[in-house]
Amino acid sequence: MGTRGFVLLWSAQLVSIIGSALTGFVLGVWTYERSGSATQFALIMLSGAIPALLIAPFAGALADRLHRRRILVAADCVALGSVGALALLINADQLQTWHVYVVTALTAMCGTLQQVTFSAMIPLLVPKQHLSRANGLSQVVFSAQVAAPVVAGTLLALAGLRGVVLIDLVTFAASLLVVLLVPLPHAAVRTAAPEPGGPSIWRQVPAGWAELRRRPGLTGLLGVLAGFYFCFGVAGTLVRPLVLSFASPAGLGFQVFAGGCGLFAGSLVMGVWGGPKKRMRGIAAFMAFGGIALAIHSLAPSLALVIAIGPFFLFTLPVITGTAQTVLQSKVDPANLGKVMATSRAVSQAASPVAYLVAGPLADGVFEPLMRPDGALAGSVGQLIGTGPGRGMALMFLLAGLLLVVLGALAARPSLRRVEELPDLLEEPEPEPAAVAASREEKGK
């Protein structure tokens, strides 16, 4: 790819996200072991998801208005301070559950600010022909978040809570050092100065949605993505109880590892391949393929089946999200890139918590009773996927998979395929002479 700034920033973000994911996992374990409350455990997820969702639109407005290096530095500093305070509380044996909620909320907001800002910088850091590959590599960050619990369990046993938090501190410090020192082109970090009397940050927040509405088909793409993230959230919420309904915790560990491998492989393939040339058709095809793979999870209560098919479903995630991100980055006004990427992120983040909230109650209160041996669907759907514990969740996997196939068909409709006919507004980043770039960076600091 030949873009040193992108590679260094991507590496710093990857290391930082891994550290945060490790800490998030062990804090969840600490909270559950201390309280024995599943509700308090779930509140950790919500304390990260809701603040991240609320700050996303403002993160986009800030990324389009302020010096982006300063945004990344500020986010790293706040996160570093939060985790540092956490380390002090642990060392003094004063850590309380509410401290975990506050630190989780702060680090989630900092992570959102970093990721939105970085996604707005990517098109200005890499040549246009490599944009899809760069977006594919950016999905490795999400893969690392999914795989982190596998490592975190071992680290927790070896180093304890204090040791894992110290590792997180080191990753934040390393990320901050890279962000401070890496040379970056002027266009990637400096945005146009706001005009005197221009709109405030608050009034700029809706501009991302307005920009999307000006480009026919982009709001439809966002709707399809929201449906995809909802289905992914349902599957992510239910896959562990589904597997545990017919397998041991050790079997679940193998399933999580296999799924993480599929996700990681999809990210690497996107980084090398760059995604389909016909992007909307590619999104449609991979979404339908992922839906079929998700539906196959329901066919039998078999650990071998879910271990074999799970990686194929998760392989599609980085391809779909990376390709969609490239479409959005290419077809909108570069001056509104941050706001558009923040709007896209807010929609996807909103779909996931909805799935988290509804999947469990629907499984326990509706689908599991329907699929009991004497349930209402035992003589019909039960003949296909079986009855008994876990089969209601299997039915939800089947329905979510069918919904993904429908969403793939919608993405293939001419009204959405015409997105590719929109003018490409992304300009090729021009390399600056080293002396000029250094001078401008010095003035911007």
pLDDT digits (tens, 9 = 90+) for 70-107: 999 999 999 999 999 999 999 999 999 899 999 999 99
pLDDT for 163 beyond 70:
yes
342 and 59 Cβ atoms separated by less than 8 Å: yes
pLDDT band, very low/low/confident/very high, at 38 (cuts 50, 70, 90): low
320: amino acid identity, one letter: I
> What pLDDT is stored for residue 145 in this prediction?
66
pTM value?
0.76
Q: Under CATH, which number does the domain 205-427 receive?
A: 1.20.1250.20
Residue 217: left if φ>0, alpha if ψ -120 to 50, beta else—which one?
Answer: left
Collect all residues with Cβ–Cβ distance below 8 Å to 46 and sequence separation of at least 6: 353
Helix axes 4-35, 68-91, angle to 10 degrees: 30
- What CA–CA distance (Å, rounded) separates 227 from 224? 5
> pLDDT tens digit string along 39-61?
676 677 778 878 888 888 888 88
pLDDT for 250 beyond 90:
no
- What CA–CA distance (Å, rounded) separates 419 from 219? 10
Collect all residues with Cβ–Cβ distance below 8 Å to 44 and sequence separation of at least 6: 24, 27, 28, 31, 100, 101, 104
The DSSP annotation for 84-140 comes to HHHHHHHHTT---HHHHHHHHHHHHHHHHHHHHHHHHHHHHHS-GGGHHHHHHHHHH
> What pLDDT is stored for residue 209 in this prediction?
81
> What pLDDT is stored for residue 370 in this prediction?
96
Least confident piece of the model among 166-180, 258-272, 386-400: 258-272
> pLDDT tens digit string along 200-212?
555 556 777 888 8
Nearest CA among 126, 117, 6, 101 for reference residue 50 = 101
Query: Which residues of the chain are in CATH 1.20.1250.20 domains?
Result: 1-188, 205-427
Rank 144-148, 291-295, 315-319 by mean pLDDT and report only the highest: 291-295
> pLDDT tens digit string along 332-383?
887 788 888 888 878 776 787 788 788 888 988 899 999 999 999 999 999 9
> What pLDDT is stored for residue 88 in this prediction?
95
Give how far the C-alpha of residue 239 lies from the chain's centroid of Cα atoms, to the nearest Å: 18
Mean pLDDT of 132-156: 73
Rank 20-24, 174-178, 249-253 by mean pLDDT and report only the highest: 174-178
Residue 160: left if φ>0, alpha if ψ -120 to 50, beta else—which one?
Answer: left
> What pLDDT is stored for residue 41 in this prediction?
65
252 and 243 Cβ atoms separated by less than 8 Å: yes
Q: Can you tell me whether residue 49 is helix, strand or coil?
A: helix
Positive/negative CA dihedral, 376, 367, 320, 205? positive
- What CA–CA distance (Å, rounded) separates 21 from 41? 15
Joined together, the tokens standing for residue 98 give 């509410």
pLDDT for 225 beyond 90:
yes
- What CA–CA distance (Å, rounded) separates 105 from 52? 7
Nearest CA among 162, 315, 346 for reference residue 232 = 315
- What CA–CA distance (Å, rounded) separates 12 from 254? 29
pLDDT for 241 beyond 60:
yes
pLDDT band, very low/low/confident/very high, at 37 (cuts 50, 70, 90): low
Rank 156-165, 260-269, 342-351 by mean pLDDT and report only the highest: 260-269
Nearest CA among 54, 74, 55, 56 for reference residue 66 = 74
For 325, other C-beta atoms within 10 Å of its C-beta total: 25
CATH architecture of 1-188: Up-down Bundle (1.20)
Backbone angles phi, psi at 271, to 5 degrees: -65, -35
> What pLDDT is stored for residue 427 in this prediction?
61
Instruction: Share the mean pLDDT of the chain.
Output: 84
Q: Residues of the chain with pLDDT > 90: what percent?
A: 37
Nearest CA among 263, 290, 276 for reference residue 406 = 290
The DSSP annotation for 198-238 comes to ---HHHHTTHHHHHHHTSTTHHHHHHHHHHHHHHHHHHHHH
> pLDDT tens digit string along 317-336?
999 999 998 998 888 887 78
318: amino acid identity, one letter: P
Rg (CA), the chain: 22
For 180, other C-beta atoms within 10 Å of its C-beta total: 12
> What pLDDT is stored for residue 343 in this prediction?
84
> What pLDDT is stored for residue 435 in this prediction?
42
Quote the DSSP letter at residue 364: I
Backbone angles phi, psi at 423, to 5 degrees: -60, 140
- What CA–CA distance (Å, rounded) separates 322 from 271? 9
Rank 26-40, 221-235, 247-261 by mean pLDDT and report only the highest: 221-235
Coarse DSSP helix, strand, coil percentages of the chain, rounded to the nearest 5 percent = 80, 0, 20
- What CA–CA distance (Å, rounded) separates 389 from 301? 10
pLDDT for 275 beyond 80:
yes
> What pLDDT is stored for residue 429 in this prediction?
57
Mean pLDDT of 230-250: 86
> What pLDDT is stored for residue 261 in this prediction?
86
